[in-house]
């Protein structure tokens, strides 16, 4: 066993102050994984009984696990921050994921970001077939690739060690080649004004780039993220088409999203029920090949946004030689770049 007598504060202070002693015990166990009561007592120059009294609340709080003669680090604390976030609000994220799995149909095209909610979404989308998925997440790409006839396009760049997500300008340039039906991104928070907030500027850049390539701009956020804030404002409510969450927002947010023309989907929402019961009908002048992808009535600005994407310069429906991937990509020849 390596020597444990390495201190950030003098031994006398560790013996006198329980909070300092507690912090040093956590530091030692984190470095050694498993440590005996006797070794801790020797390292901190206190009695075995003092160590037992100090570690008892740490065990009760789930910060340490009791083993025969000592303590060890819980397995969940050894996980990466991304894996820990996967456990946070897990049930709620799975509800959101199921909502997306009902929205997305076989053969659809979409962009997914690398957030934990989108990882749950990827798991739920495994019941779908012939999807075209563009993502910067190696984890999502490996989950959906070569499954049910899917085609997955992985944006390349420097790989983040935490969540296996590709970063950098090359990622943004790559996803701008595609025109898709849905861009689905997660956010860190939704503040009181309905602004979508994120913790990292890079995540905001990815979300904005993805939204520029999609006919429907979808934000996924569990209800617990409402009425919170984060470092960076990603976008305002009127810059998205749909918010998917796990339960109804309160009247304050209902008013904000309704005023911004945002469709809010959650289990039992009107949008969810209608989508299940009523066939979607395209406007009379819509091209036949777009009929099944008609998105319904939206605010004028949003309709214009999607109209430009439907018939943009890279749209394969108007330019068959384009290398861009769109809905029904599996039914037409793919033109590789």
Q: What is the pLDDT of residues 18-65, one digit of tens each?
A: 778 888 888 888 877 788 999 999 988 889 999 999 999 888 877 888
Percentage of the residues of the chain whose pLDDT score is greater than 90: 48
| CATH number corresponding to 85-331 | 3.40.50.10470
The residue assigned the tokens 């009791």 is 66
Alpha-carbon gap, residue 285 to 282, rounded angstroms: 8
Architecture of domain 11-78: Orthogonal Bundle (1.10)
Of the candidates 237, 232, 287, 235, the one whose C-alpha atom is nearest the C-alpha of residue 257 is 237
Using CA of residue 316, residue 97, residue 188, residue 253, what is the dihedral sign? positive
Mean pLDDT of all residues belonging to the chain: 78
What is the spatial distance between Cα 276 and Cα 280, in angstroms, rounded to a whole number? 10
Using CA atoms, how far apart are residues 234 and 190, in angstroms rounded to an integer? 10
Q: 25 vs 212, which has greater pLDDT?
A: 212
The domains of the chain are located at 11-78, 85-331
């Amino acid at each position: 066993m390596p020597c444990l007598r390495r201190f950030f504060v003098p031994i006398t202070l560790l013996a006198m102050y329980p909070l300092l002693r507690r912090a040093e015990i956590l530091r030692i166990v984190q470095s050694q994984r498993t440590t005996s009561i006797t070794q801790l007592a020797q390292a901190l120059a206190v009695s075995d009984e003092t160590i037992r009294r100090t570690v008892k609340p740490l065990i009760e709080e789930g910060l340490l696990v009791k083993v025969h003669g000592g303590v060890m680090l819980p397995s969940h604390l050894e996980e990466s921050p991304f894996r820990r976030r996967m456990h946070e609000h897990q049930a709620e994220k799975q509800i959101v994921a199921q909502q997306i799995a009902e929205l997305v149909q076989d053969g659809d095209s979409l962009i997914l970001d690398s957030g934990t909610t989108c990882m749950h979404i990827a798991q739920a989308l495994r019941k779908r077939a012939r999807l075209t998925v563009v993502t910067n997440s190696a984890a999502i790409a490996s989950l959906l690739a070569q499954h049910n006839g899917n085609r997955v396009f992985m944006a390349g760049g420097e790989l983040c060690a935490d969540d296996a997500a590709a970063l950098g300008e090359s990622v943004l340039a790559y996803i701008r080649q595609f025109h898709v039906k849905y861009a689905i991104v997660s956010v860190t928070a939704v503040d009181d004004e309905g602004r979508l907030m994120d913790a990292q500027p890079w995540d905001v850049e990815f979300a904005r780039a993805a939204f520029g390539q999609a006919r429907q701009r979808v934000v996924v956020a569990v209800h617990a993220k409402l009425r919170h804030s984060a470092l960076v404002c990603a976008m305002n409510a009127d810059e998205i088409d749909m918010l998917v969450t796990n339960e109804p927002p309160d009247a304050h947010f209902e008013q904000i999203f309704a005023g911004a023309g945002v469709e809010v989907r959650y289990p039992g929402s009107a949008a969810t029920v209608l989508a299940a019961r009523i066939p979607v009908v395209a406007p009379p002048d819509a091209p036949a090949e777009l009929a099944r992808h008609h998105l319904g009535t939206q605010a004028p600005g949003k309709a214009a946004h999607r109209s430009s994407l439907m018939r943009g310069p890279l749209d394969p429906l108007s330019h068959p030689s384009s290398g861009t991937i769109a809905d029904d990509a599996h039914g037409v020849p793919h033109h590789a770049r």
